[in-house]
Amino acid sequence: MIESMDDLEGLVRRQLYRMQGFSEDVARVRAREVSEDGAIAVEVDGNGALRNLEFSGDISRMSPEEFERVLVDTANAAAQQAFARLSELITDFNGERSEQVGG
């Protein structure tokens, strides 16, 4: 319960810091996936945007169709990891918020 302006100011300050921390955590989300054969490595951010892409010499032995499939599958796997981490952050953030409101 808020009994004074100081209490209100403290509550708002804590919430602001919490939001800033959440925003920083979200901005740091990255996921990296390497194809089963090690030929392709993909790194994405929390939005699923490509941040890094690496190829080994093994791609020279792939057909264009195989290269496309492996690249897309690896990028999808990396994006799924990033989205799962983002989901964890959101769930944790919402859980903390519920505890504050309920407590």
Give the distance, in angstroms, between the CA of residue 36 and the centroid of all CA atoms in the same chain: 22
Residues 6+ apart with CB under 8 A from 48: 79, 82, 83
For all residues of the chain together, what is the average pLDDT?
A: 91
Give tens-digit pLDDT for 28-68. 999 999 999 999 999 999 999 999 999 999 999 999 999 99
CATH class of 5-102: alpha beta
Q: Phi first, then psi: what are they for 34, rounded to 5°?
A: -115, 135
pTM beyond 0.75: the answer is yes
Share of the chain above pLDDT 70, in %: 92
DSSP string, 31-71: EEEE-TTSSEEEEEETT--EEEEEE-GGGGGS-HHHHHHHH
What pLDDT score was predicted for residue 11?
A: 86
